[in-house]
A and B are shown apart, each in its own frame.
Chain A
Amino acid sequence: MRIILFILSCISLSSYAGVIKVGREQQHKSITAAIDAARAGDTVLVDGGIYYEKNLVINKPIVLKGVNQPVLDAEKKYENISVKSDNVTIQGFVLQHTGVSSIVDYAAVKIYNSRNVSVIDNIVKDAFFGIYSQYGTRCLIKNNTLTAFAKTEQSSGNGIHCWKSDSMQIIGNTVTGHRDGIYFEFVTNSVIWRNQSFKNLRYGLHFMFSNNDAYINNVFQNNGAGVAVMFSKEVKMFNNFFQENWGDAAYGILLKEINDSYIEGNHFEKNTSAIYAEGANRIFVKRNIFKNNGWAFKIQASCSEVMLEYNNFLGNIFDVGTNGSLVLNRFNNNYWDKYEGYDLNRDNIGDIPYRPVSMYSMIVERNPPAVILFHSMMVSLMDKSEKIIPSLTPENLKDEHPMMKPLLL
């Protein structure tokens, strides 16, 4: 009986939710008018075409859905859509020409203090900020494509920007040409999954004061400075690709003041520094592949209890770089392609420890112009003698159980 009642109430509820159509041949010519006419729970269907709605404000829980990709143009003056209500869905639009301001953060979609907002399948072109959430909770940002043409950091905004939000889901988006691809500040319990962030001016992902978040299966490629994860704790970074973050100050990941986090199963390829860690504590770095980087792992002496285990280091110019002799971190069971030891008992673990910090990398760390001596006879002689009697390189920074063969990752 209860079930029947429930089903009946469902039907009656859904029968209340009407459909309002917008388009040249429809009842409403503008979206603003349609939203004014809509009641909570209604669906507003927008036909293809171009709409100049100035700043479209959604202040009731409705579904705003584009049919045949209608274009919403903000004429470079306004915010395209402002969401000021819970339970709003925005789907299937092309949002373009968002206003640019140095006082207000205009965005293609801005979520103000709302819950359960979904932004799905939109194309955002030439926006200042792309999709912006401030005090958003349980919002879903999925399968959007954001393209901007940022020239300077001052005059551009971030692709997906979340500020003081909670339980966000950022899934399957593509962001390019913004200042930061994805930006998190004071965001908790959120997931960033299967996004692509490339050719952004500054960071592919910028992460600050955001605890208990995970980013998984993303691709960060060719961004100005790679990915920055700062002042956060309990961040999980799994199975991401960090590629071709080249340049004067580019990192695969920059870790700054990070505690209790996990970096597992990631691929780092062709970055100037794959991981640069400063003030990082209790980080597990496991089962990653570091391939063809300038520095695979730059770890400053301010880090403690960073555990590097079961990683593959292949074809990097320098495996590990550091700036002091204090070592509070552990290296274990990694595969280093530069390892020259032997394995008498054939258990696939080298019998003598491997020291991943070379003398030359210490010299370059202290004196950057010394890169000009890279690959010279002088340098290889120094490295060889240092391997036998370490003087400049930290005595304790070593892998006690290096693997003889690359791990299957």
Chain B
Amino acid sequence: MVKIFKYVIIDILRNKIILAYTVFLLVLSLSIFNLEDSSAKGILSLLNIVLIIVPMVSILFATIYIYNSAEFLELLVSQPLKRKTIWLSMFGGLAFSLVTAFLVGVGIPVLLYEASSAGIMLITSGVLLTVIFVAIALLAGVKIRDKARGIGTVILLWLYFSLLFDGIVLFILFQFADYPLEKLMVGITTLNPIGLSRILVLLKMDISAMMGYTGAIFKDFFGTTIGMIISLLVLLLWIVLPGWLSVRKFNHKDL
């Protein structure tokens, strides 16, 4: 398993895209911290990057990589290796390299400029989002055989999580405006890892105290230790569930 894992990482490093991604993140976060007048504000701007770019790069890169390694996977499957091992090393290799890129590109600048609880939460949720979207990419890659359809689906999924989902939430809010939806909203956010990480980071910043009555309700849930643990567990579930489904699918897949 370690051997395949290592091979995947070396292969990814060789095509230099991850390197470029790291440098891009690094330049971006350093310039944001240097441009904004307060580093707390820098965290807020970085949050946008983390919520939009990190999922997009993770999901697209992982999907394309899976499709391009189709022949390599066939080769590996012909060896006396467990399919589960092969697939998990693939997952591990992809996740590891993207997470490393994120930690170097965003993690280090954040720790340098704003090592507050909000900063730590930003790094944590960025790492989790990377792994989540790699897992989703793996699931899509194993489910859909056709490359163009696979990549298209993955782009739509990214759009859904970062844009459409919030649109649907807004739609629900206005359709059912006569009902008390605060509690329901807490439940609904767990359905979108991007939204959930956004709220977790925002609640770590003191602006959350100014969002009035509803903000207070959200803080009552997400702001407590139990709420925090539950949210992090939900994010972990977002890794485990697609990962496990993709392993199951890969075990029975006719390559």
Contacts and interface: CB of A to CB of B under 8 A. Distances in A.
A374 B162 contact: no
A372 B52 CA distance: 17
Contacts of A366: 177
B170 A317 contact: no
Given A372-B189, A372-B199, A375-B48, 5 more contacts: A270-B206, A272-B209, A272-B210, A375-B47, A377-B163
Interface in B193-217: 195, 198-199, 202, 206-207, 209-216
B188 to A, nearest CB: 8
Contacts of B182: 369
Interface residues of B, number: 34
Interface string B161-185: 0110011011001100100011001
B198 A375 contact: yes
B51 interface: yes
Contacts, number: 87
B196 to A, nearest CB: 10
Interface string B229-243: 000000000000000
A137 to B, nearest CB: 41
A375 B202 contact: yes
A371 B169 CA distance: 11
Given A370-B170, A372-B185, A375-B48, A293 B210 contact: yes
Given A317-B210, A378-B166, A369 B181 contact: yes
Nearest to A294: B210
Nearest to B206: A270
B213 A249 contact: yes
A368 B213 contact: yes
A326 B251 CA distance: 64
Interface of A: 246-249, 270-273, 292-295, 315, 317, 363, 366-381
Contacts of B170: 363, 370, 373, 378
B245 interface: no
A370 B48 CA distance: 18
Most buried by A among B169, B189, B210: B210
A85 B64 CA distance: 91
A271 B48 CA distance: 25
Most buried by A among B47, B198, B212, B216: B212
B218 interface: yes
Nearest to A370: B173
CB-CB nearest 4 A-B residue pairs: A294-B210, A378-B166, A248-B213, A368-B214
A266 to B, nearest CB: 18
A200 B137 CA distance: 54
Contacts of B207: 292, 294, 317
A372 B169 contact: yes
Given A247-B216, A294-B212, A369-B173, A374 B202 contact: yes
B44 interface: yes
Contact of A272 (B169, B199, B212): B212
B166 A379 contact: yes
A248 B207 CA distance: 14
B14 to A, nearest CB: 33
A270 B52 CA distance: 29
B218 A367 contact: no
A249 B212 CA distance: 7
Contacts of B52: 377
Contacts of B185: 369, 372
9 contacts: A247-B209, A270-B206, A272-B209, A272-B212, A294-B210, A366-B177, A368-B213, A377-B163, A381-B163
Contact of A246 (B41, B166, B173, B210): B210
B166 to A, nearest CB: 4
B211 A294 contact: yes
Contacts of A271: 210
Contacts of B211: 272, 294, 317, 371, 374
B173 A376 contact: no
Nearest to B168: A378
Contacts of B213: 248-249, 368
A375 B44 CA distance: 9
Nearest to A244: B209
Given A317-B207, A366-B177, A367-B174, A373 B212 contact: no
Contacts of A246: 209-210
B198 A371 contact: no
Interface string B38-72: 00010010011001100000000000000000000
B199 to A, nearest CB: 7
Contacts of A381: 163
B214 to A, nearest CB: 4
B177 A367 contact: yes
Contacts of B199: 372
A376 B212 contact: no
B133 to A, nearest CB: 15
Nearest to B162: A377
A380 to B, nearest CB: 8
A79 B47 CA distance: 58
B218 A371 contact: yes
A294 B195 CA distance: 21
Nearest to B181: A369
A369 B221 CA distance: 14
Interface in B139-170: 162-163, 166-167, 169-170
A376 B210 contact: no
B212 A372 contact: no
Given A376-B166, A377-B52, A378-B166, A369 B210 contact: no
A376 B177 contact: no
B16 to A, nearest CB: 29
